[in-house]
Structure 1
Amino acid sequence: MVVQRIGLLAVGITLTACSNTSSKQPTTLLRVARTLPSSEAVTTADSERDRKLLRQFQVSVREVVPGLQLQPSLYTQKSIESELRRQTNSGLGPDLVISDASTIHALFEARVLDPVPLTKEQREAVAPALLKRLTNDQGQVTGLPVSQSLQLACYDKSKLTTAPASLQELAKASGGESVFGIAQNFEDLYWSMGSFNAGPALVKSLRGETPTATETHQLVRWLGWLQNTSFQQNVVFLRDQPTLRRQLIQGRIDWISCWSTQLPQLREAMKDQLGVSVLPAGPAGQATPVSKLQVWGLGRNSSQRQRASSEELMQFIVQPWAQKTWSLRYRTSYPVNPVAAAIVNSQIPGTDDLYLMKSKQGILIGDEIMANLDTNPQLNAGLQDIINDVIFGTESPAQAAGKIHNLLKRA
């Protein structure tokens, strides 16, 4: 669903439009601002990669939007709000902004983005639960979901013959010489909640209800697993995915929780040593990975022509052909369009296991939780503080469960 390195520009490579545009066709310049995933710094290599893909994208989409030219700029998630606020106040803000759901919400609240006027076709092209994650309390759609990145397990096949299929197998393997790495922020940890069926307790609290004793017990079990796992010698909790990725590449860690958008960098560095699998199941069932959304937002300084071109692109990019072609070509993202998702499932063996949760109820629970966190950064930060206290051993699982309930029911 984060933002991901293939982003907007990679979509263009998948298109097969004619590049011959009449010299009389008026040019439309769109300024595109994009963020890298959280904790990622913008490098020269990132900028060069975007410029290269941009040239290919411009050629490819000229039949869709004739005369289109794109001017890219990369930002960190920490810097983008202040930068775009300054640009927008001076009348030079971007036409399109590409980031994750929570960042797009924050930019919208900062008044540097306009609401997205979705057409009937766009609403039908995007799974309703994903649109909900981009809809604020006033019913405004703050951005258009374009793709999903998915949670996986990535491992070094020279160190592990197979990835652990269960948390019990992970614990057994970590008791030997294998080292396992897990990102400690809640979004990256959510997959493990399903292994303990801990999601219903959070949903009840978010709805202002009191979880049952059984639901609370499952939440405490999950928090207990986090704490116990953090005390194991060969399991490391790290703050961010880039650090996990680097340590896997460097051979310091043998297995990590990862995101599908990290696969190009991992494949480039690890070659045939890279293994990819589903995340391990637990005592209560399968892991329940959530998705990070890549979202397109509309800047406020566009001219009438620029806005029309932006909306044309947004209309096209969620249609089944573009969605399935993108996913099948790069295999680093998953469609937001249900029709395209069905095509991807039928054409990639094992995708149904790798990309999708089996439980529809699990999907609904995850979407409801993430929708609340995406639209409420303070709630997300409060929940993260409690999770950190559990991992570091300064809060008992039972105490933390009570604090989570009180935090969420006030949301």
Structure 2
Amino acid sequence: MGGRFFKFLAIGWLPLLGLLAGCEAPLAKQIFQNASQSAGMGSTISLLVETKVGSDPSDQKLNKLVVEQEVDLFQRFNPGVKIDVRFVPNDQLIKQLNFQYSRGLAPDLILLATNNLLPLWRQGLIKPVELKPFEEKSVRAALLPAFTYKEQLLGIPVLIYPQIACYNRSRLKDPPAKIDQLIKLGQAGYPIGISGSFESLRWLYTGFDDSARANISGKQSNELFKSPSLPFLTWLRLANLQPSISFESDQQLLRDGLVSGEFSWITCSGAWLQGLQKRMGSKLGIALLPSFPAGSAQGLLNARTWAFGSQSSSIQYEYAKRFALFSVNIVQQRNMILRLRSAMPVNPGISLPLKTDSTLALIVEAGSSGRLLNLQNIDLLNAIEPKTKPYLDLVLSGDQSPQAIAPRFDSLLKQTESR
């Protein structure tokens, strides 16, 4: 049941090679010209940018610089528009929005670190955005359903960050390509760090569930169908028995551990690459998450997303939409991706040097095997996250067996499915 739940949650495979295919020149010209037209009358719009608490200062600095450069360039093309930018940590975002909303000063545009839009929508802090047919072509059509709720588009994606693996080249020559090699690496004494939240472990859950269903054989397969969580929980217990494998709830511990040499291999995000590269230099290696018998690991894809404030006037809304679309036009998307080298573009007309840039090529490959959850499913995943922790802790600590916890874990996912 849990497996079906997550298959239902997933928006599906993201065919990134198709995303990187070319688009028609007249369309590209039309989009660029629309984004670059000067605003007639002067206007000011406010932009609030969410930053992640605990993220590497280098990553935060680069992300702020990218936003500020986008704003400066947009204002150069639109001298009649002024954009006021503020940055707020993610743990203060809702508080800030409620405070500004209560005074009628809510931002016109919000750049979220994820696509978790429904909480803002329910509180009336954001409103849908309407795109014209040619504007929709700035974002690959397969992505838009993931940002749609009750037939309304609640946000526009800007960048997609995949889950990957990072390792220390000076300590580990060959990163594990298959899931069984990860355990063997731990048994050989290589220190391994794995993000311990269920959201981050979802690639393991779905990988083992898919593998179990792909290898049906008699009574054993029937037991697996009854408890899709059992292979996942069993692997967690086996991995945690290895003294050199650690499950960390603090992402910063993983990053710092890789830099210091405490870990040779960690699960990580494309969003960490700039900071890790600055701290590790040529020692930093990146790889795909280990694959399963049923196929590639399906890590979650994290989307940086534009949301539109509900208190904007019609003019402010139009300028906010113009700026959001400016950030996803062909020129700006290509510049951002080449600058970051850690994310995937959402514009279908981007052509990237994948043959000569191995980092970008791996990011694209990781994205092609990843899954982007839609708004409802991101909301459900966030809702069950705190409820999964006690079960995972019981298994990892050895307090209870995977066999004892699996039925309760399955029941939790089943209850969530029926919501």
TM-score range, shorter chain: 0.7 to 0.9
Q: CA RMSD in A?
A: 3.5
1:249 Cα deviation from its structure 2 partner: 1.5
Indicate which of 138, 153, 157 corresponds to 2:169. Answer: 157
Deviations 1:390-411 (A, max 9, x none): 4344552532453244223322
Change (3 A) 1:352 1:52: closer
Alpha-carbon distance between aligned partners in 1 of 2:284 and 2:367, rounded to the nearest angstrom: 25
Cα pair distance change 1:169/1:346, threshold 3 Å: same
The CA deviation at 1:55 is 4.9
Matched, 1:105 2:118: yes
2:373 paired with 1:373: no
Contact 2:116 2:379 in 1 (8 A): no
* Partner of residue 127, structure 2: 114
Structure-2-length-normalised TM-score: 0.77
- Aligned match for 2:50, one of 22, 30, 35: 35
Alignment of 1:212-291 (within 5 A): 215-216=225-226, 219-291=229-301
Identify the match of residue 396 of structure 2 among 388, 391, 394: 391
CA contact (8 A) 2:159 2:305 kept: yes
- Aligned pair in 2 of structure 1 residues 385, 410: CA closer, same or farther (>3 Å)? farther
Show the counterpart of 1:190. Answer: 202
Say whether the 8 Å CA contact 1:198–1:222 is kept in structure 2.
no
Q: Does 1:130 align with 2:138?
A: no
Contact 1:122/1:318 (CA < 8 Å) preserved in 2?
no
Shift of residue 50, structure 1, vs aligned partner:
6.4
CA distance 1:250–1:98, shift in 2 (3 Å): same
Matched, 1:143 2:147: no
Aligned residue type for 1:355:
V
* Contact 2:43–2:316 under 8 Å retained in 1: yes
Q: Is the 8 A contact 1:97 1:299 kept in 2?
A: yes
Q: Kindly provide the CA deviation profile for residues 213-266 of structure 1, in whole angstroms up to 9, marking residues without a partner as x.
A: 654565421221122212321111111322211221222211111111111100
Aligned to 1:334: 344
The residue type equivalent to 1:373 in the other structure is N
Say whether residues 1:88 and 2:67 are aligned partners. no
Aligned to 2:23: none
What is the letter of the counterpart of residue 132 of structure 1? P
Q: Give the secondary structure class of the aligned counterpart of 1:178.
A: coil
For residues 70 and 305 of structure 1, the distance between their equivalents in structure 2, rounded to whole angstroms, comes to 13
* Distance apart, 1:179 and its partner CA: 0.7
What is the letter of the counterpart of residue 416 of structure 2?
A: L
Give 1:84 shift: 0.6
Percent identity (aligned): 23
What CA distance in whole angstroms lies between the structure 1 residues aligned with 2:59 and 2:166?
22
Of 150, 162, 172, 2:184 maps to: 172
* Structure 1 pair 151–181 and aligned structure 2 pair: CA distance change class (3 A): same
**1-side partners of 2:67 and 2:225: how far apart?**
49
Amino acid at match of 2:153: V
Q: Distance in 1 between matches of 2:56 and 2:297?
A: 32
Q: Which moved more, 1:302-311 or 1:291-300?
A: 302-311
Q: Deviations over 1:280-303 (max 9, x none)?
A: 123433212221010011112333
Is 219-228 or 290-299 further displaced after alignment?
219-228
Contact 1:101-1:134 within 8 A present in 2 as well = no
Cα deviation digits, residues 20-74 of structure 1 (max 9, x gap) = x99x98554332212223x42797x888766655553333223543344332222
Question: Are 2:412 and 1:407 equivalent residues in the alignment?
Answer: no
**Amino acid paired to 2:300:** V
Looking at structure 2, the residues matched to 148 and 139 of structure 1 have their Cα atoms a distance apart, in angstroms, of: 22
1:146-199 deviations in Å (ceiling 9; x for gaps): 110111111111111121112222212212332111111223222223542449
Q: Distance in 2 between matches of 1:262 and 1:350?
A: 13
The residue aligned with 1:59 is 72
Q: Does structure 1 retain, via aligned residues, the 8 Å contact 2:156–2:324?
A: yes
Worse-superposed segment, 389-398 or 72-81:
389-398
2:364 corresponds to 1:355: yes
Structure 1 residues 59 and 318: alpha-carbon distance in aligned structure 2, compared to 1, 3 A threshold: closer
Quick one: distance in 2 between partners of 1:225 and 1:127? Answer: 37
Identify which range, 282-291 or 212-221, moves more after superposition.
212-221
Contact kept, 8 Å, 2:74 with 2:326, in 1: the verdict is no
Q: TM-score, normalised by structure 1?
A: 0.78
Does the aligned pair in 2 maintain the 1:152–1:258 contact within 8 Å? yes
8 Å Cα contact 1:146/1:294 also seen in 2: yes
- Partners of 1:168 and 1:353 in 2: how far apart? 21
The question of whether the paired residues in 2 share the 8 Å contact of 1:196 and 1:285 is answered with no
Deviations 1:90-124 (A, max 9, x none): 01111211113454322222211111223323433
How many residues were matched structurally? 375
- Equivalent residue of 1:323, what SS? helix
Cα deviation for residue 308 of structure 1 reads: 1.7
Could you give the per-residue CA deviations for residues 357-380 of structure 1, whole angstroms, max 9, x where no partner exists? 698xx65xx445x65431333244
CA–CA distance in 2 between the matches of 1:32 and 1:299? Answer: 9
Provide the rounded CA distance (Å) in 2 between the counterparts of 1:237 and 1:292.
21
SS of 2:208 mapped into structure 1: coil
DSSP 3-state at the match of 2:119: helix
Q: Secondary structure at the match of 1:61?
A: helix
- Secondary structure of the corresponding residue to residue 356 of structure 1: helix
